[in-house]
Amino acid sequence: MIDPFGRHISYLRVSVTDRCDLRCVYCMAEDMTFLPKSEVLTLEELERLCGTFIDLGVRKLRLTGGEPLVRKNVMSLVRGLGSRIGSGLDELTLTTNGTQLTKYADELAAAGVRRINVSIDTLDAAAFKAATRWGELDKVLDGVFAAKAAGLHVKINAVALKGLNEHEFDRMLAWCGEHGFDLCLIETMPLGEISEDRTDQFLPLSLVRARLKQNWTLTESSHTTGGPARYYDVAETGTRLGFITPMTHNFCESCNRVRLTCTGTLYMCLGQEDAADLRAPLRDPALGEEGLRAAIADAIARKPKGHDFVIDRRRSAPAVARHMSVTGG
Ligand code: SAM
């Protein structure tokens, strides 16, 4: 699959549910309305759709959400997709908040998952509870260590937020180094209405990197995981530190991914509204596999050049109305 700007699309991110067991303040409103079950693709439908993408050239697949591990029977999807590793698919990964990892880490590893991203914005239990509205840090850390014990390579993702974790990155980097985890910091993006003002939360990572460089030896690394992060090797820990900077420096020119929601809607860009409905062709027996492939090809032909996120006090509405939990972070 090649888009109009000559970019090869080889990475599919799949939000398997819009539901989550946490309510991170920058991600969701507290009183979210979730999709009725009738709107959501079955796991079998998701697997078939992912299979079509793999046949069309997708080599890397990431399950996300909402929280992927709260979807009932999600492991049947993981096992099904895992069976494609080596026959079309190079990698199956997962982004999770970690609350269910003690339960699923071994099964994930057995299904062929090798790496996972766990989102932890702070290592302070009280701040964690405040940021997630009701999360228990200890439960998540137990999950992280269960993943490590199962042989999964863990990367910790943290959204950089003023007033939440801006003075904690040294501690988080040290903790990650101690346990052999890479750390990736992410700029907050204007997706969906939340109860707080994003201008108050936004922390440019250029500033964070400059501060970290005073205490750590950071050397630019050519390491890539096929995502948008730019990595540095951390001499003191032997681990890596990544930065995802959609606000201060986007990498749209090398974008290789599209995003599928649990309703079968395909977003060609995280930061644009245009989308393609794949549920109708998926469910239309008259169209068959060819019809589904044609719908995907039409969508790829509309992939926009990039997003134009702005976080600005003069602009009160978010750049994109849907929350990150819809498209899958
Ligand atoms: N529940 C899973 C998790 O917590 O990793 C997967 C879904 S979550 C939406 C994926 C990632 O998106 C998390 O790391 C989360 O912190 C991040 N995220 C959510 N809203 C965001 C926003 N507005 N800007 C930047 N990152 C955001």
140, containing H or E segment: helix 137-149
Q: Give the ligand 1 atom nearest the CA of 121.
A: 16
**What phi, psi does 184 have (nearest 5°)?**
-130, 125
- In a 3-state reduction of DSSP, which class is residue 78? helix
Beta bridge partners of 64: 15
Q: How far apart are the first and last CA of the chain?
A: 22
Measuring from atom 10 of ligand 1, which residue has the nearest CA?
Answer: 329
| Beta-sheet strand order (sheet of 60-64) | 218-220, 230-234, 240-244, 182-187, 153-160, 115-119, 91-96, 60-64, 11-15, 257-260, 265-267, 275-277
Ligand 1 center to 98 CA (angstroms): 12
Among positive and negative, which fits the CA dihedral 83, 59, 270, 114? Answer: positive
- Predicted confidence at residue 314, as pLDDT, reads 60
Digit-coded pLDDT (tens) for 217-253: 999 999 988 888 999 999 999 999 999 998 887 788 9
**Ligand 1 atom with the shortest distance to the CA of 28:** 20
Q: Is 96 in the pocket of ligand 1 (CB under 6 A)?
A: yes
Q: Ligand 1 test: best mutation among 159, 172, 311, 327, most atoms within 8 Å of CB?
A: 159
227 in ligand 1 pocket by Cβ < 6 Å?
Answer: no
Q: Which string of DSSP letters, residue by residue, matches 224-250?
A: --SSS-EEEEETTTSSEEEEE-TTTS-
Tally the residues of the chain.
329
Q: Is 144 helix (H, G, I), strand (E, B) or coil?
A: helix
**Atom in ligand 1 nearest the alpha carbon of residue 246:** 25
Please name the residue whose Cα sits nearest to atom 23 of ligand 1: 189
The residue with greater pLDDT, 277 or 194, is 277
What's the gap in Å between 56 CA and the centre of ligand 1?
Answer: 27
For atom 11 of ligand 1, which residue has the closest CA? Answer: 329
Note the pLDDT tens digit of each residue in 118-152.
999 999 999 999 999 999 999 999 999 999 999 99
pLDDT band at 29 (very low <50, low <70, confident <90, very high): confident
| Contact between 160 and 186 (Cβ < 8 Å) | yes
Instruction: Confirm or reject: Cβ of 25 under 6 Å from ligand 1.
Output: no
Q: Using CA positions, which residue lies closest to atom 25 of ligand 1?
A: 188
Q: Are 38 and 279 in contact (CB under 8 A)?
A: no
Q: What is the pLDDT of residues 280-323, one digit of tens each?
A: 999 999 999 999 999 999 999 999 999 877 666 566 566 677 77
What gap in Å lies between CA 37 and CA 275, rounded to an integer?
A: 21
Tokens in use for 81?
Answer: 């997709």
- Tell me, what's the pLDDT at 323? 77
Q: Is the CB of 191 under 6 A from ligand 1?
A: yes
Q: The tokens of 174 are what?
A: 């040290």
Q: Closest by alpha carbon to 190, among 13, 11, 326, 310?
A: 310
Q: Give the number of C-alpha atoms closer than 13 A to the C-alpha of residue 170, restricted to the C-beta side.
A: 9
CA of 208 to the centre of ligand 1 (A): 19
